[in-house]
Amino acid sequence: MTDMCYESYIAFTGPFLELCACPECSSAQYETVTQGNKLVPIPQKQVLTIPVGPQIQAQFWSRESAWNMGHRHQVMDALLARLCEGGSIDVYDDVYCSSTLLEAAMHGDLMPDNVVLIVTLPLNVSLDLDLEMACNT
Ligand SMILES: [Zn+2]
């Protein structure tokens, strides 16, 4: 479990690991509760974090799941070939049909072995990514 701010979505991890108060709203990381005759600090809020890097890496440990990880490339390769021949996409039935992904592949920003991670977040969450760190996991 990772401690997080009670008032926001800041987690006390990474660059905030050594902080005792939220860098956004100054809320304290801990509250003090009485246990017996002692005052004990406990995190005000915690969240379960599952690092995605190791989860993705684990998909390449078996032949079958590694083959399945190539599904995006197989589908998008056929779509790109059709588009390059002047064709069109008849049915937009998959995220692979998105113009964002197709344009990234056309411009060489999305290579066959790349993994695409799609994240959906609540509107009130701002996400500060350390891209260098994210790309190395
Ligand atoms: Zn905060």
Q: What is the per-residue pLDDT for 50?
A: 81
133 C-alpha to ligand 1 centroid (Å): 23
21 C-alpha to ligand 1 centroid (Å): 8
Q: What is the per-residue pLDDT for 136?
A: 45
User: What band does 132 get if pLDDT is binned at 50, 70 and 90?
Assistant: very low
DSSP per residue, 28-44: BSEEEEEETTEEEEEES
11 C-alpha to ligand 1 centroid (Å): 9
Instruction: Write out pLDDT tens, residues 27-65.
Output: 999 999 999 999 999 999 999 878 889 999 999 999 999
Rounded distance, CA 114 to CA 105, Å?
10
Q: Judge if pTM exceeds 0.75.
A: no
